[in-house]
Amino acid sequence: MLLTARRIAVALSLVFGAVTASLPLALAAPAVAAPADDVRYAAIVVDANSGEVLYARRADEQRYPASITKIMTLYLVFEQLSQGKLKLTDTITISPRAAAQPPSKLGLAPGQKITVDEAIQALCIKSANDVALAVAEKIGGSEARFAALMTLRAQELGMTQSRFVNPHGLPDSRQLTSARDIAILSRAMMRDFPQYYSYFGQKSMTFRGQTMRNHNGLLHRMPGVDGIKTGFTNASGYNLAASAVRDGRRLITVVMGGSSTRSRDDNVADLLNTGFEVMRRRQAGEVINVAQNLFEHPTSPNGPVAYASLGPSAQPRDIGDVLSAAQASDSGVAVAATSRMRPIANPEESDPMAMVSGMDAKAKAKVVPAKTTPAKTAPAAKKKKKDPDAIWSVQVGAYKQKSLANNQLKQLSKKFAQHFAEAEGGVDAGGGWYRARFEGLTKSGAQQACKALKAKKIPCLVMAP
């Protein structure tokens, strides 16, 4: 414990150019260790007022949203209310299809009715899938039409990595988002409908004699937290979009792909505490370039990391800029987002990596060989003749740093040697991303390899020649 504290103090002294060891340890921002073995993990911390991104890790990589989807469902409900198209006292009828949705749910029978106010509470607190579908049918006329409206609104808000096909977040490989997009949506929801935000901070609800507790555990144990939404499926891992206020400042933190409810909540709490500490120091007059070790332990796993800065070298996109750009050119955003979100015909090839895979001519440029270390094998008598059909590829990640792409190839070539023994690992650079790929596979070999990766919850994408 003492060693960890000393490491943090040394790291801070390097960042601030001051003798941080002389400061009380309570002033040192806590190190936040991200899950070491889960490639689904992604996170972002945003100043809700300015839109400044204080920290981002894999924030633009696509992920399955699970029930965080319901933030967008609620955004559209609030929109209808603010436009006078719905009232809180209006009723919603549960259809047979809505009643048949799997848990979490209220368990209403077909034909039963609830008010819009009850529906909002059920979505925020119980995360009720039956209610989500009933709301979609009420507003859109059908689930498909409502989902199309969700995607359109996402594009207008600048959520470039998102596509919705259902209103609740139940498993569907086509339903995708990113940590940054959820932060954009959360901030837009607070900005556009502040009169309804208090629903997300409601700790429990009583519905027809039954009291239900909010799934967001931080509401119950971390002062200042007043939202927003949890989510979980086996494919997504444990997701949480949270917001908190401290000393008049508000932060939004999104974590996706947590390994458990507790570890996810702890990670979000640490990120919030670190973010507030950074803001407090700035308020006190310190000029802080927030380096990675303010948010992570120096020995934490690799991953594209963006950090905030008060100086001219700051790189992260300002969410406020994204929203402004989207509002200035709605049609341009819609066209760009639609072109990147075309569905893939073969469901075996549908994957969260699609939107950072570069599926255009530039993405199929010459691949730079990765520095991978193949496993030692006994000398072969003859070199195996190359299969002429081995012209397919599998993409296993997209990163902001080439070293991270190489590291992913190295690890997977060992763990999945039976699938990639005959493949050549390489890194394709383009558009600011380094894409890790295994080339030289047959179509069936690529599909089998990707299937094996997905079985271990590792995103991948089968790429045609």
| Residues carrying an active site annotation | 67, 70, 127
| CA atoms lying within 13 Å on the CB side of residue 402 | 12
Please choose, from the candidates 174, 203, 214, the residue with its C-alpha nearest in 3D space to the C-alpha of residue 65: 174
Continuous segment of H or E residues that includes residue 212: strand 210-213
Please choose, from the candidates 457, 51, 64, the residue with its C-alpha nearest in 3D space to the C-alpha of residue 256: 64
Cα separation, 263 vs 34, in Å, equals 9
| Contacts of 429 by beta carbon, 8 Å cutoff, 6+ apart | 368, 402, 435
Residue type, 113: K
Residue type, 376: K
> Hey, what are 208's tokens?
């027809």
> Hey, what are 115's tokens?
């008010």
Residue type, 314: A
What are the CB-based long-range contacts (under 8 Å, 24+) for 415-419? 416/449, 416/452, 416/453, 417/375, 419/445, 419/448, 419/449, 419/452
